[in-house]
Homo-oligomer: A and B are copies of this chain.
Amino acid sequence: MVTKDSAATKRRILSAARAEFAEYGIAGARIARIAAAAACNKQLIYAYFGDKDGLYRAVHAEIVAQVTEAVPFDAEDLAGYAVRLFDFHASAPDVHRLTRWAELERPAAAVSAAGAEATARKIEAIRRAQRAGKVTSDRAADEILLLVLGLAGLGAPGTPEAAYNDDPERFRRMIRRAVTDLVG
């Protein structure tokens, strides 16, 4: 039985783990620091999440759900979607770091089953928009998705170009215009 207390404890552990993984990556994360930050003991973390990898997977699932909810994909407004994705990353810099660590430390997991499914759904939505004449049919749907995601990621926190990003509005304009020019 999940009591209110245990749900609150799990929440505290996940929140502490997210900060720890974002800062130090998977190999560098320390369960002892997470336990201290969550004010619980290490054994409880192992009981709830198995090992460090299990805990990382729980954090990863949480951020995938968060991005999906915060920035719904919109095949009929790809420029707007790209700008909203840029804004989301600006507001949650840990997401970009967590993703980058996973790419380096767990290359296979970086393309998780959930992620691959979400990608397939986006490509299918672009195909439908192409058939409806709302997106150019001049490029393949999967290429359009790559270009949109690539352009949306420019200037995200943690990228080298973010250092020049003292004017987010300029980045928004640049991304909106580039996506419109390529796929509008």
Pair B27/A24 contact, Cβ less than 8 Å = yes
Judged by DSSP, the binding face of A is helix
Q: Which of B146, B160, B174 contacts A154 (CB 8 A)?
A: B146
Interface residues on A, range: 20 to 34
Give A133 to B41 CA distance when docked, in angstroms: 66
Q: List 23 A-B contacts (CB under 8 A).
A: A24-B27, A25-B28, A27-B27, A97-B104, A100-B104, A103-B158, A103-B159, A103-B160, A104-B158, A110-B160, A143-B174, A146-B155, A146-B161, A146-B174, A147-B154, A147-B174, A147-B178, A149-B161, A150-B151, A150-B154, A150-B161, A181-B182, A182-B182
Inter-chain pairs besides A25-B27, A147-B174, A150-B150, 8 sampled, C-beta below 8 Å: A25-B28, A97-B104, A104-B104, A107-B158, A110-B160, A146-B155, A150-B154, A182-B182
Q: Which residues of A contact B (CB under 8 A)?
A: 24-25, 27-28, 97, 100-101, 103-104, 107, 110-111, 115, 139, 142-143, 146-147, 149-151, 153-155, 158-161, 163-164, 174, 178, 181-182
